[in-house]
Amino acid sequence: MSKYALFTSMTDDGVPLINREISWLSFNERVLQEAMDDSNPLLERLRFLGIFSNNRDEFFRVRVATIKRMLTLGKQARKQLYDDPEELLSQIKEVILKQEVMFDKAFKQLIKELKNENIYFVDDEHLTPEQEQNVLTYFKETVRPTLVPLMLERGKPDLTDKASYLAIKLYDKGEEEKAKYALIEIPSQILSRFYILPQDNGNKYVMFIDDVIRLGLRQVFKIFDYTTIEAYAIKLTRDAELDIDQDIDESLIEKLSKSLNKRKKAAPVRFIHDENIPADLLELLTKKLNLKNKEDIIASSRYHNLKDFINIPDLAGKRLSFKKQQPRRHPELNNKRSLIDVITKKDIMLNYPYQSFSHTIDILREAAIDPEVTAIQINIYRIANNSKVINALVNASKNGKKVTVVVELRARFDEESNIYWSKRLQENNVKVIFGVEGLKVHSKLILIERGNRTDEDGRLIAHIGTGNFHEGTASFYTDVSLWTANPKISREVHTIFSFFRRNYSPGNYEELIISPFNVRKRLYELIDTETKNAKAGKPAHIIIKLNNLVDTSIIKRLYKASKAGVKIQMIIRGICSLVPGVKGISENIEVVSILDRYLEHSRILVFANGGDEKYFICSADWMGRNLDNRIEVTTPVYSKEIQKDLRHTLELQLKDNTKARIIDQELQNNYKSMVGKKVQSQAAQYAFYKSKDKA
Closest CA to 462 of 479, 446, 449, 451: 446
Dmax over CA atoms of the chain, in Å, equals: 91
Q: What is the DSSP letter of 684?
A: H
Task: Determine the Cα–Cα distance for residues 494 and 504; give it in Å rounded to an integer.
Answer: 16
Q: Are 401 and 375 in contact (CB under 8 A)?
A: yes
Q: What is the DSSP letter of 235?
A: E
- Other CB atoms within 10 Å distance of the CB of residue 247: 10
Task: Determine the Cα–Cα distance for residues 35 and 110; give it in Å rounded to an integer.
Answer: 9
Any residues with CB less than 8 A from the CB of 424 and at least 6 apart, and which? 390, 394
Which is the catalytic residue, given 442, 463, 494, 601? 442
Q: Are 603 and 620 in contact (CB under 8 A)?
A: yes
Closest CA to 217 of 305, 147, 280: 147
Q: Are 76 and 22 in contact (CB under 8 A)?
A: no
447 strand-pairing partners: 377, 462
Q: Are 577 and 559 in contact (CB under 8 A)?
A: no
Q: Is 442 known to be catalytic?
A: yes
Task: Determine the Cα–Cα distance for residues 445 and 344; give it in Å rounded to an integer.
Answer: 17
Question: What single string gives the DSSP state of each residue in 188-231?
Answer: TTTS-SEEEEEEETTEEEEEEHHHHHHHTHHHHTTTS--SEEEE
Task: Determine the Cα–Cα distance for residues 493 and 363; give it in Å rounded to an integer.
Answer: 17
Task: Determine the Cα–Cα distance for residues 392 and 404; give it in Å rounded to an integer.
Answer: 13
Q: Are 263 and 242 in contact (CB under 8 A)?
A: yes
CA torsion through residues 118, 121, 127, 131, sign: positive
Task: Determine the Cα–Cα distance for residues 574 and 561; give it in Å rounded to an integer.
Answer: 23
Task: Determine the Cα–Cα distance for residues 108 and 104; give it in Å rounded to an integer.
Answer: 6
> What's the half-sphere exposure (Cβ side, CA atoms, 13 Å) at 170?
19
What residues act catalytically?
442
